[in-house]
Amino acid sequence: MLSQIDEIQGIGLHLDLVLRKIQDAYLRTFASLGIDMTIEQWVILHQVHELGTEASQRDIVQSNFRNRATISRVIAGLERKRWLKKTRFQGDLKRFKLELTSEGKCVIDLVLPHAIRLRKQTIKGLHIGEFETFLYVLDQIGDNYQNF
């Protein structure tokens, strides 16, 4: 496939095509489970699950490559679905605390095994060294654009 990429399309097109396939697999999985959820919603819901009782909106903003407004909009959508509850930390009125609701925990329990299967699918057929090289190359490409 790399031989098909010319100087105009470049690696960005290739990365975009692969990313779309991955996203499509996740969205089809959510749909097959009867869950109306976007990938962004899954990422945030899963992060809140991983962070546990100390999950804050600030942590989510800092760990994602999205701006604060986008994260706020996704969190609001999760609140509307009653999967997430947003309150203030006791004694810290500046930070929002994010907690999974019982419905949110059910979504995590339903989706997480499938998400793990999809993650394993990502590296299927790759040796550990190949995957490490892939990550190194991605990091190098990112670094090449860091101060451009």
Domain spans, the chain: 2-146
pLDDT at site 82: 98
Kindly report the average pLDDT of the chain as a whole number. 90
Each residue's pLDDT tens digit, 73-102: 999 999 999 999 999 888 887 889 999 999
Q: Which residue has the higher pLDDT, 63 or 76?
A: 76
Q: What is the pTM of this model?
A: 0.85
**pLDDT bucket at 118, cuts 50 / 70 / 90:** very high
User: Where does the pLDDT of residue 63 fall: very low under 50, low under 70, confident under 90, or very high at 90 and above?
Assistant: confident
Q: Which two tokens stand for residue 40?
A: 């962004």
Question: In whole angstroms, what is the distance from residue 104 CA to residue 83 CA?
Answer: 4
CATH architecture assignment, domain 2-146? Orthogonal Bundle (1.10)
